Structure 1
Amino acid sequence: MNLFNDLRALVIDALGSLEIDGALPSGLDFGNVTVEPPRDAAHGDMATNAAMVLAKPANLRPRDIADALAARLAQDPRVELAEVAGPGFINLRLVPSVWRDLLRKAVVAGDDFGRSDYGAGRRVNVEFVSANPTGPMHVGHVRGAVFGDALARLLAFTGHDVTREYYINDGGAQVDVLARSVYERYREAHGLSPEIREGLYPGDYLIPLGEELKAELGDSLLDQPEEVWLVRVREFATDRMMAMIREDLRALGVTMDVFYSEKSLYGTGRIEAALDALREKGLIYQGVLEPPKGKTPEDWEPREQTLFRSTAHGDDVDRPVQKSDGSWTYFAPDIAYHYDKITRGFDALIDVFGADHGGYVKRMKAAVSALSGGKVPLDIKLMQLVKLFKNGEPFKMSKRAGTFVSLRDVVDQVGPDVTRFVMLTRKNDMTLDFDFDRVLEQSKDNPVFYVQYAHARICSVLRKAAEAGVDTSDAALAGADLDRIAHEAEIALARKIAEWPRLVETAARTNEPHRIAFYLYELASEFHGLWNRGNELPELRFVQEGDPETSQAKIALAKAVAVVISAGLGILGVTPVQEMR
């Protein structure tokens, strides 16, 4: 189904035959041979770099290899022209029947078109969101949640066995701060003035929790010292916050497979076991770190600590895991958590972090490399900031949340589908502008609308064709006489559809779901362009009056576009619309 893979296989077979004939030395590595769209579509449908990458190991001129290879490729019935360009690139032009056959396959496959077994047998853990359970999810979490879920969907679409995981940061000091903040709201529920001192969470979202705590425990905690109520209130507040977070995720269309508690690592021997695994490799030692850059001697007190020799696995400096007073650093439970992932048998790990975690990347990769013996790769994706605008002005405040715009603020105003698509219109490491007015515009400048409009237009074509008596069932469209699709504009759209399976595999290989959103916009643009040309050239209209056979062929082309848009939106977690309202 992946035409580019099929043509690459053709190139590899042709190279193999050249080896057999003695035109190439035997034993060459074809791993870097690619077949891709040429940079300039005027040069052909596909291009291969085979001659360029094999010239040096073969001790031959690229042009000599290219001439011999092009002659072999030209013998394949799918190839209309194989032409050597420049120093040795080969441009291929395919016969039109290749594109027509691919349209037929797309119609038959439906939403499975482009699905592959690229990742078959590989278990992947995608950890994302992992917000502290101290309040509602904010807009920064939205981007990470959408990215992580779309990535998980993308990997599943390409055959991976995916686990979506949320790491609950409930083992640090922030949950004690939450407990103290809720306790003040509990006092407030009893008619007392809350003391929301500096360092506590001020959001109104804690008021209902104080009332719930009063309903559950009455006044039994009033005027009690902190050591009496802290643990009880902390557990109560964390449970309620996680329930709120789960509900926020559901509103966004995100469902986790695993919620993993950081607190479960403490006092259970799991942290010690992870560090023992590193100690057995000679990577844990007692030492004193150099002072941080920018610190003066008066600011620095050298202390012996337990250190992880992370520099042995690519980090810049070794990292402390246990302080001189015996307490764990923040890094220690994170090591234990990732060790747990490794012992659960995952073949690859992906962490989706906020941009403020950039300094954590090397140390975490070093830990996973050390714990897995380099066998389990860890890819960390950093989410850059989201800047919100409304009425042309920055949109910054949510009273309920206290100091930020919450996930619900965004979803309630524009809906989950728009939210999800827009969050993927920039690569994760780029800042994203989210304009509440623009994302609801009905214009080409709004990618959500433009892609959905293409799908809705095709649904409208199918309805009108059926009303005119044209059989638009999948079986009828797959059996249509696709030779009636002959105009260059139609073939160009078919070529764009052919890119879909390759694009999906590339996006999965690089863990970049934004590529799907980009491609869908390009495909929608090609489709709308053909539609608009039909206003000037009646022969390009999808429904041809009095000619059901030609109509079926052209509608098959439109249906193939709808198939790809539907599959692509499914990966993004967006529902394709049947009509625009």
Structure 2
Amino acid sequence: MTLYSRFAAHIDAALDALVAGGALPADLDRRNVTVEPPRDTSHGDLATNAAMVLAKPAKSNPRTLAEKIADELRRLDEVAAVEIAGPGFINLRLTDDTWRAELSAIRDAGGDYGRSQRGHGTRVNVEYVSANPTGPMHMGHCRGAVVGDALAALLEFAGYDVTREYYVNDAGGQVDVLARSAHLRYREALGEAVGEIPEGLYPGDYLVPVGRALADEFGDRYATAPESEWLVLFRTRAVAAMMALIKADLALLGIHHAVFASEAELQAAGKPEAAEQWLRERGLVYDGVLDAPKGEVPDDWEPVELPLFRSTQFGDDQDRPIKKSNGQWTYFGADLAYHFQKAQAADELIDIWGADHAGTVKRIVAAVAALTENKTRFDIKLVQMVRLLRAGEPVKMSKRAGNFVTLADVVREVGKDVVRFTMLTRRADAQMDFDFAKVVEASKDNPVFYVQYAHARIASLHRRAAEAGIDATSPDLSRLDTEELALVKLAAQFPRIVETAAAAREPHRIAFYLYDLAAAFHSLWNVGNDRPDRRFLVVEDPASSAARLLLADGCAQIIRNGLSIVGVEAVSEM
């Protein structure tokens, strides 16, 4: 039990005592009672809103109730002072020994410090990347890949049972285009001069090896054969080749999915039909006619009866077709069935989507609500695109021309750690610039460098302490003063950050916190530049050095724990 969870239990016990004494009703809902650091550190170490939350249902004055709660909390040995602020917030100041004990707790817990059971084993399916299998990963896919993978790791650290899933869109027209593009490269591999790639086919050179493989396997058997003889075969081979390429690209980022769900297999198994039938039986799919398009109506438009999902019953602005007029499934119809399949094996679903899909959020949220009868939590995290820069100038690229910037090229140029951490230095729904020069800059303005440098500094400190013969196995922590304990207070927030980030589904909070912790450590370190007695390692004062070494170790441990969540290495040398 970490400090924040322990004080949550203390407050709960204080409320129990008031219930036992008749000062509070027994049936109050305490779920919104919080324990957190006050926004202004001058107000104390911890703050609780217990009196503010419970006063109204308890039919009490908030400040009067706060006084009663404060009287209970003053009995605790860990509490130095309790103050009531404003209309009823309760601020606590803890004893210095409490913070010293928390530093020892960080050391004892090691890699498990901050790990939580908040999730209680809840099964969560996190689906991310899911790029069409028509080419290698490019930087347009990178941010969603990192956000999804870091979120999955965060939820695991917080006690959830997580499945990482990739949805392979291998049933749409784009994979037929891929097959035709591969056939062109196949003919090229057989010696045919194909000339300029025709409009409508994928022009990238990444299909050249696919064409060669097909030529090696089939010879000239399909060179002049009609499309009906090779389309399905070439589509299968090309999709498999693209997925192998995509998996290799993701592996460069340290990303590995447990499940690859095929849209083609989903449809072959009749899952969309099953979902439609399930919804029809509940009156949620009906045959109807869509309204004419808003604005100028095309000359060839005519009303057609289609199976429509009643998404307006779940907050959407219109009912949505699940099939086209030719009987094929709409994208929405296929996605509806896919989410129905996912929900069978999960308690909660999370999708990581590009911001360009924002317009389809309402309908799929409505579908999941209907298909799970509102029993499955479903979150969609929208991720904004990344603008690539070199020394401040935009990097021009065109996916259609086949000269886009691949994820593999970027990782090889700047490194996995730089890419992953940088993608979490903004909220996922905020615009981001990725400047190749700035992300490798060795400065405070480069978050990944600044955090890794803090860990490397502490590793160097350890080496120098060992050379000086300083024994830090049983340090006297009373040597740590108020300025040094302030760093412990920040370090002790890590378990709370993990829980709040997991609850909000926002892994960037871990990166933000690590930067703040690294900045506080560097600031304390730099005090020693002007005051040699304040250095972390003072050979003439081994007792203080041993205590400060444990303080540094605590910061290093939390940096390691946090970086493991975001998928970045905690380096020992830079």
Task: Output the TM-score relative to the length of structure 1.
Answer: 0.96
Change in 2 beyond 3 A, CA 1:76/1:300 = farther
Change (3 A) 1:393 1:75: same
The residue type paired with residue 558 of structure 1 is A
Is 1:348 aligned to residue 331 of structure 2?
Answer: no
Q: Judge conservation of contact 2:397–2:405 (CA < 8 Å) in 1.
A: yes
Using the TM superposition, give the Cα deviation of residue 553 of structure 1 relative to its aligned residue in structure 2, in angstroms: 1.1
SS at match of 1:58: coil
Are the equivalent residues in 1 in contact too, given 2:202–2:400 (CA < 8 A)?
no
Tell whether 2:417 aligns with 1:451. no
- Letter of the 2:464 partner, please give it: K
Partner residue in 1 for 2:485: 491
Q: For each residue in 1:382-422, what CA deviation from the matched residue of structure 2 results, as whole angstroms up to 9, or x when unmatched?
A: 11010010022101337998142111121111011110000
Partner of 2:279: helix, strand, or coil? helix
| Paired AA for residue 297 in structure 2 | T
* Match status 1:204 vs 2:199: no
Written as runs of structure 1 = structure 2, the 5 A alignment for 1:226-375 is 226-296=227-297, 298=299, 300-344=301-345, 346-375=346-375
Q: Does 2:169 correspond to 1:169?
A: yes
Q: Equivalences for 1:504-523 in 2 at 5 Å?
A: 504-523=498-517
| Unaligned runs of at least 5 residues, structure 1 | none
| CA-CA distance at 1:326 after TM superposition | 2.0
Q: Which moved more, 1:491-500 or 1:395-404?
A: 395-404
Alignment of 1:26-425 (within 5 A): 26-189=26-189, 190-194=191-195, 196-296=197-297, 298=299, 300-344=301-345, 346-397=346-397, 402-425=402-425
CA distance in 2 between counterparts of 1:419 and 1:292 reads 43
Matched, 1:482 2:477: yes
How many positions carry a matched residue from both structures?
Answer: 573
Q: Deviation at 1:299? A: 6.7
Could you give the per-residue CA deviations for residues 365-384 of structure 1, whole angstroms, max 9, x where no partner exists? 11111111111111111110
Deviation (angstroms), 1:267: 3.0
Give me the whole-angstrom Cα distance separating, in 2, the residues matched to 1:276 and 1:293. Answer: 31
What letter is aligned with 2:291? E
- Check whether the contact 1:135–1:401 (CA below 8 A) recurs between aligned residues: no
Cα deviation, residue 227, structure 1: 1.4
Amino acid in structure 2 at the alignment position of 1:234: R
Give 3-state SS (helix, strand or coil) of 1:57's partner.
Answer: coil
| Counterparts in 2 of 1:556 and 1:294: CA distance versus 1, 3 Å | farther
Asked if the contact 1:80–1:93 (Cα under 8 Å) also holds between the matched residues in 2, the reply is yes
Q: Name the CA distance, whole Å, in 2 between partners of 1:328 and 1:222.
A: 32
Moved more, 569-578 or 304-313: 304-313
Find the aligned partners of 2:268 and 2:159 in 1 and give their Cα distance. Answer: 38
Q: Which moved more, 1:239-248 or 1:364-373?
A: 364-373
Out of 65-74 and 247-256, give the one that drifted further: 65-74
- What's the CA shift string for 1:503-547, capped at 9, x where partnerless? 001111111100000000000000000000122223322112133
> Cα distance 1:139–1:266, how it changes in 2: closer, same or farther (>3 A)?
same
State percent identity of aligned pairs: 58
Query: Hey, what's the Cα distance between the residues in 2 that align with 1:540 and 1:209?
Result: 63
Measured on the aligned residues, the alpha-carbon RMSD in Å equals 1.6
What per-residue deviation string (whole Å, max 9, x for no partner) do you get for residues 543-573 of structure 1? 1213333221110000000000001110011
Q: Distance in 1 between matches of 2:257 and 2:304?
A: 41
Q: Is the 8 A contact 1:470 1:548 kept in 2?
A: yes
Give the Cα separation in 2 of the matches to 1:120 and 1:60. Answer: 34
Report the 3-state secondary structure (helix = DSSP H, G, I; strand = E; otherwise coil) of the residue aligned with 1:357: helix
Match of 1:576 in 2: 570
Q: Is the 8 A contact 2:203 2:400 kept in 1?
A: no
**Distance (whole Å) between structure 2 residues aligned to residue 2 and residue 138 of structure 1:** 41
Structure 2 unaligned residues grouped into runs of 5+: none
Counterpart of 1:535 in structure 2 is 529
For 2:293 and 2:454, the matched residues in 1 are separated by 55
> Aligned equivalents of 1:280 and 1:400: distance in 2?
44
The CA distance in 1 between the partners of 2:544 and 2:401, in whole Å, is 58
The AA in structure 1 aligned to 2:404 is F
State the distance in 2 between where 1:185 and 1:153 align: 40
Name the CA distance, whole Å, in 1 between partners of 2:287 and 2:296: 22
C-alpha displacement of 1:264: 0.2
Query: CA 1:352/1:464 → structure 2, altered by over 3 Å: closer, same or farther?
Result: same
CA drift of 1:309 comes to 0.9
Deviation at 1:295, TM superposition (A): 4.5
